[in-house]
Amino acid sequence: MTVVRRALATLASLVILVLIAATPAVADAGPPPNSMASLGDSITRGFNACGWYTDCTSRSFSTGDYSTVNSHYLRIRAVNPNINGRNHNDARSGAKSADMYGQAGTAVSQGVGYVTMLIGANDACTSSESTMTSVTTFRANIDSALNRLKAGLPNAKVLVISVPDIHRLWFVGKDSGSARSAWSAFGICQSMLANPTSTAQADVDRRNRVRQRVIDFNTQLAAACAAYGANCLFDNNAVFGYPFALSQLSGWDYFHPNTSGQQVLASVSYAAGFRW
């Protein structure tokens, strides 16, 4: 029996070692940061979340201080009060991937310990399918920005967030007259949202190609983050995969997240990140 027990103990030890070896390594988040910055576009600026066609940075999912949204900043401040007031929103409405290098430079100058980056919607949401950013150019732009962050903030943690599924946006809004009117009147994301009620094969195929471009962008974001190293995390398409509802979009443009949308964006993206 002693021999059997020893054999079983040895086998159990081997199983544990195999399980440990098979478990993917997860970067240590380290202590919560004392400062942070957000890079991105109008989504990160909280555009249309509290006013008519204006930025509303207080409701940003990343660096905002509006309690209902419960941003990354507020979640971190709850465990590290030293971050108080050191939340920099470096995003710009209308920004594309090409603008990330400049925004990264701003974050470097601020000496922050944590950076979020959500970019790509405007690279896919253009006036027509033909004017979307190419996948190659998108990746080059992201690499350029991340390299600047890594060189200037070698110890900072970086969370790269997936581009939301704009095909989902079309799906939840196509049957709303108000949404269709807003998309048409303001020329919103026509690469995806043109002819929103059409079931013609050409329009179906166009929407699918635009969605595929977003998927390709997210693939490149994941690869660029992996190349960055242990201090970078990709959200593993958590935001892309979230089924946003029409009620979570601004009633002014039916494109940008409203306060409820910013709240869920904060929750989903933070849970997929470092989670201090």
In the predicted model, what is the mean pLDDT of residues 221-241?
Answer: 98
In the predicted model, what is the mean pLDDT of residues 188-208?
Answer: 97
Output the DSSP codes for the chain: -HHHHHHHHHHHHHHHHHHHHHSPP-----SPPS-EEEEESTTTTTTTSSSTTS--GGG-TTT---TTT--HHHHHHTT-GGGTT-EEE---TT--GGGHHHHHHHHHHHT-SEEEEE--HHHHSSSSGGGSPPHHHHHHHHHHHHHHHHHH-TT-EEEEEPPP-HHHHHHHHTT-HHHHHHHHHTTTTHHHHSSTT---HHHHHHHHHHHHHHHHHHHHHHHHHHHH-TTEEE-TTHHHHS---GGGB-TTTSSSB-HHHHHHHHHHHHHTTT--
pLDDT in tens, 64-95: 999 999 999 999 999 999 999 999 999 999 99
Q: How much is the pLDDT for 104? A: 98
**Higher pLDDT among residues 28 and 84, named by residue:** 84
pLDDT in tens, 148-193: 999 999 999 999 999 999 999 999 999 999 999 999 999 999 999 9
Q: How much is the pLDDT for 26? A: 47
Residue 7 has pLDDT above 80, yes or no: no
pTM score, whole prediction? 0.89
Q: How much is the pLDDT for 51? A: 83
At 258, is the pLDDT very low, low, confident or very high (cuts 50, 70, 90)? very high
Q: How much is the pLDDT for 2? A: 43
> What percent of the chain shows pLDDT beyond 90?
88
> What percent of the chain shows pLDDT beyond 70?
90
In the predicted model, what is the mean pLDDT of residues 91-118?
Answer: 98
